[in-house]
Chains A and B, each alone.
Chain A
Amino acid sequence: MLVVAGLAAATLTGCGGSGGGSGSGGGDGSITMGFSQVGAESGWRTANTKSVQEAAKAAGITLKFSDAQQKQENQIKAIRSYIQQKVDVIAFSPVVESGWDTVLKEAKNAKIPVILTDRAVDSKDTSLYKTFLGSDFVEEGRKAGKWLVEQYKDAKDPVNIVELQGTTGSAPANDRKAGFQEVIGADPKFKIIASQTGDFTRAKGKEVMEAFLKANPDIDVLYAHNDDMGLGAIEAIEGAGKVPGKDIKIITVDAVHDGMQALADGKINYIVECSPLLGPQLMDLAKKVVKNESVQARVVTEETTFTQEQAKTALPDRKY
């Protein structure tokens, strides 16, 4: 999900109808939002973009959209141009965490409120932005852990868990690991017997799982930090003559389409959603900050979890 792409083959989806010049004074109610997206590196991100665009249309907010193609300088340029165009609110998903102070100060001086989406910045001056809307990765890890504890609450034997971590050092990898550990750590019967990075990719997930299966003959549960690694691991488990979902229970995070399909097919047991559909929440927040109403400094995306049964009913309507 947080894949760094070289040259993202992204289309600059300049949202049609540029809002009638700069006629977006405070009083007339119509809001113009400048949104700078990271890129189009994954299905998750594409769904995120669509959600923002559709929600803006539904909320009657004029959206100026730009795609940074994974480059911070493009994002800074886009934000500067939004400041010049005097938009009412700026929202963006930072490509990287640091280096935003200058451009955010410019926005603040121009009295344009800023909302961060999906990813945070490490700026010490929190007055530079109004709020940060995004997933709570630690909570995602906790949800995964809670389901596991619930499943094995009557079991007396130790439960052997292997973990496929995301890219080493990335926020989702660190936090999903910590949240999971926090919940299962309370009961000593849960043992993480092996934990390695699978770089969030299917190929690595499969390769690492192959090695896990050989080094540890007795694996009960696999916890993968995203669907793709889980999907790779499923192939490894099948190759070893075991049945994924039965012999080895599988928990993943994300709920992208292929993952949901595997969940509905019974190969994955539980998926914690990391939803890209934060458009509607973003538009609500935008309306509030433009009206100068107070908002919470941290807003968590509305997310759910899926069991196999829920996946079967949810799958036809999934947007990504």
Chain B
Amino acid sequence: MKRLLWPLLVLAALLAVNLFFTPSFFSVEMKEGHLYGSLIDILRFGAPLILVSLGMTLVIATGGIDLSVGSVVAISGALACLRISEDGGVFSAVVLALGLCVLLGLWNGFLVAGVGIQPIIATLILMVAGRGLAQLITDGQIITVNSPSYKVIGGGYLLTVPFGILLVLVVLGVTAFLTRRLALGVLIESVGGNAEASRLAGIRARGIVITVYAFAALCAGVAGLMISSNVSSADGNNAGLWIELDAILAVVIGGTSLSGGRFSLGGTVLGALIIQTLTTTIYSVGVPPETTLLVKALVVAAVCLLQSPKFRDKVFRRAGPPSSPRPAAEEKVRVTA
């Protein structure tokens, strides 16, 4: 848990800022038969980012990176909305959209593990081409659908709780189980540590890499359904734009190393929540739009500095007596989700 201490403190600080500006920030009430409040908003709007970040975490754990998730988000929403606007079958539309996303993920995995292209280049292909594909599907227009059952995925409620939050909990639970209760997590970290050595040790490295890329695309696909369902429309140009960068940021804030070999699902969720809380904070505190990006950058920079043991050592040693001479060694201890 120690590694998650700093992100947790940052999240707490952000929430405290909100409480200062909006005294009713923590109040959660029932409205129109569902939970209503700022905290619920953060979870609801953060849900797609958490999903994309979970997929990204596993990809990064294998030493890779997936830049194409934003385009996959757009494709998934576009295809689902197109199918629904044509014949209205929500279930088939969702299955078709997610199926295509898995296929796109397999393609990424094939390029990385099968052909040996560097992950950043391999997924850059789909990042650019995928946006075009989404626009091709929507014909460059915004497709508006009017389907109450599709609306549930991103904008609906089950037992007063936003459906999107429940969906995230399920995906998080399944992922945590597969990677932390079964051997898969260790295998992923092993491949991320050294793919060739893992292969020689008898791990099917190639299969693992392809699987995580497919998983990342599937997560992005579900996120895409959520985003488009939340506004009952598909926008091929803007849906999921730059979400890959937010996801990478969430993973990094959560303490997963970009060089692979180690990951923390709990940290990633925390990272995504920090990003979403920051966004909500900016809206409710009333930061002028011209300076929004600067404020975001400052907070992110502060989080990253706080996360660095070296930086903490330098700054806090001056303030008080050093607590432990070498905290860096301890940082390498793995954290379970």
Give A residues with C-beta under 8 Å from B.
3-10, 39-43, 45-46, 165, 168-169, 194-197, 199, 201-203, 206-208, 210-212, 214-215, 217, 228, 231-232, 235, 239-241, 258
Contacts and interface: CB of A to CB of B under 8 A. Distances in A.
A-B CB proximity, top 8 nearest: A7-B132, A211-B283, A215-B284, A197-B289, A9-B136, A6-B131, A202-B231, A9-B135
B132 A206 contact: no
Contacts of B140: 5, 8-10, 39-42, 45-46
Residue among A10, A46, A203, A235 with the most chain B CB within 10 A? A203
A180 to B, nearest CB: 15
Given A239-B32, A241-B32, A46 B238 contact: no
A309 B249 CA distance: 49
Contacts of B282: 196
B87 interface: no
Most chain A C-beta atoms within 10 Å of own C-beta, residue among B135, B282, B290: B135
Contacts of A203: 227, 230-231, 235, 238-239
Interface in B54-91: none
12 contacts: A4-B237, A5-B131, A6-B131, A9-B136, A41-B140, A46-B141, A165-B289, A202-B231, A207-B279, A211-B284, A239-B32, A240-B36
Contacts of B36: 239-241
B145 to A, nearest CB: 11
A196 B289 CA distance: 6
A211 B32 contact: no
A258 B144 contact: yes
B314 interface: no
Interface residues of B, number: 43
Contact of B283 (A8, A215, A241): A215
Given A9-B135, A194-B283, 20 more contacts: A4-B237, A6-B131, A43-B141, A194-B286, A195-B289, A201-B235, A202-B142, A202-B233, A202-B235, A203-B239, A208-B283, A211-B38, A211-B41, A212-B284, A215-B283, A215-B285, A217-B24, A235-B230, A239-B155, A240-B36
A37 B237 CA distance: 18
Contact of A42 (B136, B141, B233, B290): B141
Contacts of B45: 207, 210
A240 B32 CA distance: 8
Does more than half of chain A's interface fall in helix, strand or loop, or is it mixed? mixed
In this complex, the member of B132, B140, B280 whose beta carbon has the largest number of chain A beta carbons within 10 angstroms is B140
A256 to B, nearest CB: 9
Contacts of A201: 235, 238
Interface in B123-141: 128-129, 131-132, 135-136, 139-141
A215 B287 CA distance: 13
Given A6-B131, A168-B290, A215 B231 contact: no
Nearest to A39: B140
Given A40-B140, A196-B289, A211-B38, A7 B128 contact: yes
Contact of B139 (A9, A168, A208): A9
A253 B5 CA distance: 47
Nearest to B132: A7
Given A214-B24, A215-B21, A7 B129 contact: yes
Contacts of B41: 210-211, 214
Interface string B139-152: 11110100000000
Contacts of B318: none
Given A7-B128, A168-B290, A197-B289, A41 B283 contact: no
A211 B284 CA distance: 6
